[in-house]
Every structure is written in structure tokens, then in C-alpha cells.
Amino acid sequence: MTKFLLAVHVLAAVVAIGPVTVAASMFPPAARRALAAPEDVRATGTVELLHRICRVYGVVGVVVPVFGFATASNMGVLGSAWLIVSIVLTALAAVVLVALVLPRQSALVEGTGTGTRETTVRLAMFTGIFNILWATVTVLMIVRPGSTTGA
């Protein structure tokens, strides 16, 4: 059962979190292009699509920690320091996405003509923080300090 839960956890991370990190990273430059040419329907459509990807896959991403907890419980590692740090970083990444990235994306999508370059730069910073948090969690999941796998 542990292998199944781990497989679903990893697949969910790749399928759900991957698109959010990529789309969120693509959003600020796409928003700058849309702001520079508000009449460009294609640029505006790209921004809307990237925001939709972030929202939808962000919601789907809830599956990742759910299966992560189930896997950790089956493995008996719920009290491990690396897992606790990963949980905290995952929660922090979720807060950054929900409180800092998505609202700024929404504001730019809803009023593409009123945004500024500073808005997109700040959004890029928050997106970078979100991506660094997920990269750190990924490394912790692979390295797992104190792991008995010998890796």
C-alpha cells in the first residue's frame, strides 16, 4: 500500500504542482507584454490562460499533501524532522500562492490596462519565493535526512 500511496503522491506533485510553478513563472513576462499592448487579444488571452492554470492546478495540488500524509503515516515517519520541515514549507508555499500570487494575478487579469511594471516585478518575486519553497520541499523529499534508504 505504501508504494501505491507514494506513487500517487509523486504523480500528483508532478501533474499538479509542476504546471502551477511553470505557469506562475510565465505569468509576469506575459502580463508585461499584455500591459504594453492592451489591444493585443492574444497577449491578454495568454495571461488569462496562465492565471486559470495556476488557479485550477493550485486546487488540484491539495491532493499532494493529502497523499503525502497518508504515505508518511504508512511509512511511520510522521515525526521525522525532514517531514515536519517539508510540511511547514508546503504550508508556506500554499500561503504564498493563495495570498500573494493568485490575487495579484487576478488583479492584473481583471484590469490588464491598469497594472504597472512594478506590479509584475513584485509578482515575479512572490512567484520565485513560491517556486523556491517547492524546490526545497522536493529536495527534502528526495534526500530525506536520516533516511534508511542509503541514498
Cβ pair 112, 35 in contact under 8 A: yes
Between 147 and 92, residue with greater pLDDT = 92
Helix axes 41-60, 102-110, angle to 10 degrees: 150
What's phi and psi for 148, nearest 5 deg? -95, 5
Number of structural domains (the chain) is 1
Average pLDDT, the chain: 92
**Assigned domain for 150 exists:** no
Per-residue pLDDT, averaged over 5-23, amounts to 95
Largest CA distance in the chain: 58
**Assigned domain for 151 exists:** no
**Assigned domain for 59 exists:** yes
What is the domain range of residue 56? 2-143
**Assigned domain for 42 exists:** yes
* Confidence at 58, pLDDT banded by 50, 70, 90: very high
This prediction's pTM: 0.91
**Assigned domain for 148 exists:** no
**Assigned domain for 125 exists:** yes
**Assigned domain for 149 exists:** no
**Assigned domain for 10 exists:** yes
